[in-house]
Structure 1
Amino acid sequence: MLDVRRLYMLKTVAARGSITAAAHSLALTAGAVSQQLAALRSEVGVDLLRPDGRTVALTDAGRVLLEHADRILSAVEEAESAMAAVRGTVGATATLAALPSTVTRIVAPALTALGSRHPQLTVTCSITDRAQLRELALGTVDVVLGQRYHHLPDTTPRGIDVSPLLDDPLLVVTAADRGDDRPVALRELATHPLAVPPPTTECGQAVLQGCQQAGFTPAPRFITADIAAQLTLARSGLATALVPRTAIDPTTPGIRAVPIADHPVQRLLFAATRHTENANPTTTAVVAALRTAAREGHTASP
């Protein structure tokens, strides 16, 4: 009988592209992963992986087995969710991946509320901009607090359930003594010294395409994904920043944050979980706390 853990290792290697990267994500040594995959190869009697430059790739047999592994692993998770639903109680652990821009207004209040309502639950939180939905699909996290910009393609993987939390527009942030509180046309920023995220990030792409839709290609003065740095540059009068409303503390002194008038750049913040027929009480509790925090944080907009 095939070992479910070895099938999961095969799936992880295929997703990560190398045994070393898979071992790192599994908190194992590369030798341990290689040994388990060698045992899986002996069980099926055919090669599953082949060298591909500095990485590895699935053989034809490996792709066939991975298709079955996906169904098997989904069935195992479905069984776990069904048992959790029968128990009807929130579990002891959960993992959450969240965007840095959501920590102050959503993540921190949500985790505080969870600690009060479910003191037995420990939530391990990864704060990152990178590939959260892929980690969710791989099973390394249970809930993702993610984003999707409305004018960019939806890249949600198959088998992921998305629960919308709120629409979060980018605001034009400058020093408090620059201008008034009227909305600013995006095309007006063509002459501003801008502080924007790198174009390799989702927010950077959203800003770039939004500006192009407004009729210009931005030539930023500062490029950084660090929102605290963007706000500091704006406060000092060195740059104009485009920052999500949720990422701005309404009590921050020395800045002016106003809406975009003509070509709004807006992201949907969502909570995502792996799809199961039976709702898991633990992930349901985490998503509910995120939704409440998002709703309450939205009322305290700058």
Structure 2
Amino acid sequence: MLDLERLRALHSVATYGSVSAAADVLHVTTSAVSQQLAKLERETGQKLLERNGRGVRLTDAAELLVAHAERILSLVEQAQADLEAHRGSVVGQLTVAAFPTAIRGLMPAALRSLGADHPDLRVQAIEEDPMRSMPLVSRGDYDMAVVQDWNNDPLPLPEGLHKGVICDDVADVAVPASHPLAGRDTVDLKELAGDPWISSSPDSICCHWLLRTLRAVDSEPRIDHMAYEFATQLALAAAGLGNVILPRLGRCDVPPGVVILPLAAPLSRRVYAVWREEAARRPAIRAAVTALRAAVPADIPAVAPVPR
């Protein structure tokens, strides 16, 4: 009979491309993964890995076995979820990735609530951009991710994932106090055409969204500075170096020299939790979404039912 942990080791090598990468994901040594694969080769009577330069590649036999391993591991996860659902207890371990403002604005209260209400559940929170976290949920690295999409730029949901809405979050514009429009009650995005902007790193969902949003109002973006943290972006804005799109969820302190202007045509983002279909029946998933929705600040409405 094939050993499940050996199949998991082979599947991880196939997914992540090397023995060392698989070891990192499985939280074991490279030697331990190599030993599991050697035992699996003896168990199957087939050669599974071949040298390929400095790395390895899977043999045809290994590729065949990986296809079965993927289905087997998915069934095991589903069985574990069904057993937890049958037991009705919120137990085990849950790894939750969340983008920066969600991990600051939602996770502390949600984690405190989960710890108090479900002491047998261990939750690990990891800060991660949605563009990276959703594929990692799909692959099984994380159990859940808190992600976002904007009202003018929906985020595609990969096949095999479910989602539950946590809240809608409105964004304002932060401008330097010296800006000609700083005294306005509201501002139209078109009125800021040609202004310098400050955004996050080029590979982030926020930077991609800002570029598309400004181009949609016939303004070719001029992004002068990039910083991942909103606190840093606001410090740059306070120095008169550009404007910032600033969501309300997890908003940090606004420094002197910055004025917050609501947009006349509001921009909002929807915050979701996503998880794999196989895990949908886990009480821990339901408990985590409940805690996240309860953690939404009073001025940001939660809008969705708890997933069933």
Classify the secondary structure of the residue corresponding to 2:220.
coil
Residue type of the alignment partner of 1:228: A
Distance in 2 (alpha carbons) for counterparts of 1:209 and 1:54 = 41
Determine which of 287, 290, 302 is the counterpart of 2:289.
287
Matched, 1:219 2:222: yes
Offset of residue 204 of structure 1: 0.9
Q: Where in structure 1 are there 5+ consecutive unaligned residues?
A: none
Which residue of the partner structure matches residue 162 of structure 2? Answer: 161
Aligned to 1:191, what secondary structure does the other structure show? coil
Which aligned pairs between 1:245-256 and structure 2 lie closer than 5 A? Answer: 245-249=248-252, 252=254, 254=256, 255-256=258-259
Partner of 2:306: none
Residues 29/215 of structure 1: CA separation in 2 closer, same or farther (3 Å cut): same
Match of 2:124 in 1: 124
Residues 256-275 of structure 1: pairs in structure 2 closer than 5 A: 256-261=259-264, 266-275=268-277
The verdict on how the C-alpha distance between 1:169 and 1:30 changes in structure 2, with shifts beyond 3 A counting, is same
Aligned length: 298
Please give the alpha-carbon distance, in whole angstroms, between the structure 2 residues aligned to 1:17 and 1:153: 31
Q: Which shows bigger deviation, 126-135 or 79-88?
A: 126-135
CA deviation profile, 1:62-116 (whole Å, cap 9, x unmatched):
3332222121111111111111112211115322211111123211121122233
The answer for the alignment partner of 1:3 in structure 2 is 3
1-structure distance, mates of 2:99, 2:25: 19
For residues 205-234 of structure 1, what are the alpha-carbon distances to aligned partners after superposition, in whole Å with 9 as ceiling and x for unaligned?
A: 111111222223212121111222012222
Amino acid at match of 2:128: T
- For residues 96 and 169 of structure 1, the distance between their equivalents in structure 2, rounded to whole angstroms, comes to 23
Aligned ranges for residues 97-246 of structure 1 at < 5 Å?
97-129=97-129, 131-152=132-153, 154-176=155-177, 178=179, 179-246=182-249
| Residue equivalent to 2:305 | none
**Residues of 2 paired with 1:94 and 1:185: CA distance?**
42
Code of the aligned partner of 1:224: A
Q: Secondary structure at the match of 2:168?
A: strand
Amino acid at match of 1:286: A
Query: Distance between the aligned counterparts of 2:262 and 2:62, measured in 1?
Result: 51
**Alpha carbons of 1:89 and 1:194: their partners in 2 closer, same or farther (altered >3 Å)?**
same
Retained in 1: the 8 A contact 2:47–2:61? yes
The one-letter code sitting in structure 2 at the alignment partner of 1:210 is T
Give yes or no for contact 2:166–2:289 (8 Å, CA) kept in 1.
no
TM-score, normalised to structure 1, is 0.86
CA distance in 1, matches of 2:178, 2:7: 60
The aligned residue for residue 91 of structure 1 is: 91
Secondary structure class of the residue paired with 1:131: helix
Partner SS, residue 33 of structure 2: helix
TM-score by length of 2: 0.84
List structure 1 runs of 4+ shifted beyond 6 angstroms: none
CA contact (8 A) 2:169 2:271 kept: yes
Deviations 1:19-76 (A, max 9, x none): 2112112221222212212332333344444556665554444333222212111111
| AA in 2 matched with 1:230 | Q
Q: Match for 2:115: what amino acid?
A: G
Q: Equivalent residue of 2:278, what SS? A: coil
Which has the higher mean CA deviation after the structures are superposed, 66-75 or 240-249?
A: 240-249
* CA distance in 2 between partners of 1:175 and 1:214 (Å): 21
Following superposition, the deviation at residue 290 of structure 1 comes to 0.7
Answer whether contact 2:163 2:272 (CA < 8 A) is retained: yes
Structure 2 match to 1:35? 35
- Alpha-carbon separation, structure 1, partners of 2:49 and 2:270: 38
Fraction of identical pairs, as percent: 35
Between the aligned partners of 1:167 and 1:28, the Cα distance in structure 2 is 40
Judging changes above 3 Å, is the alpha-carbon distance between structure 1 residues 218 and 29 closer, same or farther for their aligned structure 2 residues? same
Q: Where does structure 2 lack aligned partners over 5 or more consecutive residues?
A: 303-308
8 A Cα contact 1:143 1:286, kept in partner? no
Give per-residue Cα distances to partners, 1:111-155, cap 9 Å, x unaligned.
122233224433221122262123223333222112234544644
In the alignment, is the contact (CA less than 8 A) between 1:49 and 1:58 conserved in 2? yes
Shift of 1:265: 5.1
Distance in 1 (CA, whole Å) between partners of 2:289 and 2:58 is 35
